[in-house]
Structure 1
């Protein structure tokens, strides 16, 4: 697997460079049509050659499709989970929180990931059993032991997920009574990266899509954090919710959210 990481990193960086070439901090879409046109342009630019490059080094690996993103898949074999423009909505609004995210699942468990953020030229990497890194520096989850000192974050529900809106609102209300700070944001990747680095302490999301959380889940566990379902049971990609925390905050976060 170690020989695969530099290849995947190069693929992510090349896709990121194409996106950076069409990025402007002054971008301000005038409405939905303008926004979605720019988002489609970004997807086309980032995806050029990306699938072919990954398939050339892992030809037997299958690909998570849009239809697969919210359901468990068979346990056998390897799967690529790719978001060529994670945080596309931020890119088209001139914000810096967007990235290229590539994760390899084996037996439906994340085993390798690369997340490249072109703005600032930052790259997060992790391999199962090998630790988590930002630009080559080891990452470590937070050492906090109490929610009243914790920065907690949840992912906004995806469009049309009306069934999750009330649950999301209730969870934010519950966490507001216990945590130092509660945030809701998009995309899921960035707050999870901050859990891996110890700058955020708790992240949870209902009805997450696999590309949004697979990379962060591996980085967090390799940084010493804990990833489960919201009720504390084991998590796997495609489950209907996810909870990621600093080690000492897992039980209290479950108590608030479950």
Structure 2
């Protein structure tokens, strides 16, 4: 079986390539520059990652764009976000990383996340726990939503109906939780949730590379991952909810009314 130790050198080398072209002084002037820089970043990483992962596990398929929001067929898939937080990278902000997740028969079983700014490596293996730089992670022990830090992620542009639901969900949580935050990208609030620093995260219309690594980290840290209505999450689901175990039911009660 492929292990986190097999993936750490691969993802670290890829993240270092991004670090070489990163500047905290970057200030893009407009969309043209932003998209050109983002495409450069994606190519830089994928040209290194894809051959390495294909050599490591030849039986695993590569998750193509058309499968990012649909149910997966049986088998093994490499789910990669070459630059999770690409928009942050090109704006000189530190919240970006490279993620690799192995999914087998629609279940995330192994993930490694490398954030070179700050020297952070996160790993999780199904049934073996979640770790940050080798230290075990544990989800929050909170049981009261009014003491919780909760967050959501922004859906991609061009989805006005989804945007309205995001707004309604934030409003609902503002009446129930202690602090409500919105993040881009999705991985970072789930890292905080796995570490017990955040308590609830939800997202409408997620893409699989953006949520698969965090889902495995959170559940291996003792958290719960479902759909927003509390039903089981599977790749292709149109929403996701991850929470500390003592807050999951309360989060479902608040959010399910605006999930439709």
- Tell me, yes or no, whether TM beats 0.5: yes
Moved over 4 A (4+): none
Q: Name the counterpart of 2:60.
A: 61
Instruction: Between 149-158 and 4-13, report the one with greater CA deviation.
Output: 4-13
The whole-number CA distance in structure 1 between the counterparts of 2:69 and 2:120 is 28
RMSD over aligned Cα, in angstroms? 0.8
Please report how far the alpha carbon of residue 125 of structure 1 lies from its aligned counterpart in structure 2 after TM superposition: 0.1
Please report how far the alpha carbon of residue 255 of structure 1 lies from its aligned counterpart in structure 2 after TM superposition: 0.2
Secondary structure, counterpart of 1:236 in structure 2: coil
Please report how far the alpha carbon of residue 162 of structure 1 lies from its aligned counterpart in structure 2 after TM superposition: 2.1
1:99-248 residue pairs with structure 2 within 5 A? 99-248=97-246
The whole-number CA distance in structure 2 between the counterparts of 1:9 and 1:102 is 9
TM-score by length of 1: 0.98
Instruction: Between 33-42 and 207-216, report the one with greater CA deviation.
Output: 33-42
The whole-number CA distance in structure 2 between the counterparts of 1:162 and 1:121 is 37
The whole-number CA distance in structure 1 between the counterparts of 2:67 and 2:159 is 16
- Deviation sequence 1:209-233 (CA, Å, 0-9, x none): 0000000000000000000000000
Q: Name the counterpart of 1:7.
A: 6
TM-score by length of 2: 0.97
Structure 1 residue runs of 5 or longer lacking an equivalent are none
The whole-number CA distance in structure 2 between the counterparts of 1:57 and 1:182 is 41
The whole-number CA distance in structure 2 between the counterparts of 1:162 and 1:54 is 37
Structure 2 residue runs of 5 or longer lacking an equivalent are none
Instruction: Between 62-71 and 197-206, report the one with greater CA deviation.
Output: 62-71
The whole-number CA distance in structure 2 between the counterparts of 1:125 and 1:172 is 30
The whole-number CA distance in structure 2 between the counterparts of 1:34 and 1:77 is 38
- Deviation sequence 1:129-184 (CA, Å, 0-9, x none): 00000000000000011011000000011122222011111111100000000011
